[in-house]
Structure 1
């Protein structure tokens, strides 16, 4: 014999309202910290929760973008998922357009692309951040941003991207705070990585074309890790 479904008690609505009130009582800085542990697509979706959440995602300190979030259901081979890639590309174009998110103002950026055939197109989002470092800064938003020629990034993790010498030059000249650089399954067409702040460099299964040198501060003892 099946049991009758449980009826909602009158007090349950009050409890849910109390939970929402406690969440709304949290400061924006703490909400952003919580959201920093979510994937980028989930973070953007919070804008529909309430008026207060509408713009929180635009000033996130950490952004974790994963193409796998846009995979088309039923497609077993990721490289043939053109529809999923188009959704991913549209999302990134919107995410990084002027008035939304600026890579230059992030503390941490993780960008994972699954389709190796599209890696050159994915890398253009990094180049856009270099060209327009403060495109996403809202008027009046104070986040202790650096000068217009530099980023505040401390951690940069990239997967399955084509990276030309422009990235290496940017790390050298415009990332004065970068401490953690991780490249996985990337095609790296630059001769060297030079940084005055880098403490940890991880290269996993990367195709290194012409790479021959790592330059770091003599006073530091950076950690280099290699997986071929």
Structure 2
């Protein structure tokens, strides 16, 4: 299947984030997203565009058992031995970051490290340590606040550091017209000629304009057969 362009909402945050990351001043960026709004695609595009300058903390704590600071050391190629959670970032770690020309530390799905209030407290403590210990480094983080409890969401005001701040909220589409314009091009790209404007309008109502839900309904054979048959009966 041919990769389709980003939605206008994704593109707007992509552009602003890239502009922040390539500026001379380090920045702490948090991207919040509604479920199904295309956060994974957005983050992948941002990370790909930045190349080798990004240290991506992609390890899953539920699978690895590592917290955020341990994940940071692991992705640098260091073992967990000798990590003192109450101590500042050691000088040799700062030198290693510099030698590897790392300019951005990315944390996708930050909420994986903050599933409980206790986990969030630990994650924020580690972020504070990393941001203050590496003042010349930018941080790019994403989270889905609706996945968990409100008190587990990480806010920028909780992170100490001299970096500038940037925060945005990714939604699927800003309006029905934006949704229609995007998916009229999408169905042509993947060859779904039977999907008319009225069908898309019906899908907008069914999915409440959600990007992931609409793509699933369009591309999954069983789901598509269900709503298309129902649509035909209505006609």
TM over 0.5: no
TM-score, with normalisation over the residues of structure 2? 0.29
Structure with higher helix content: 2
Task: Pick 1 or 2: higher relative contact order, CA cutoff 8 A, min separation 6.
Answer: 2
TM-score, with normalisation over the residues of structure 1? 0.29
Structure with higher strand content: 1
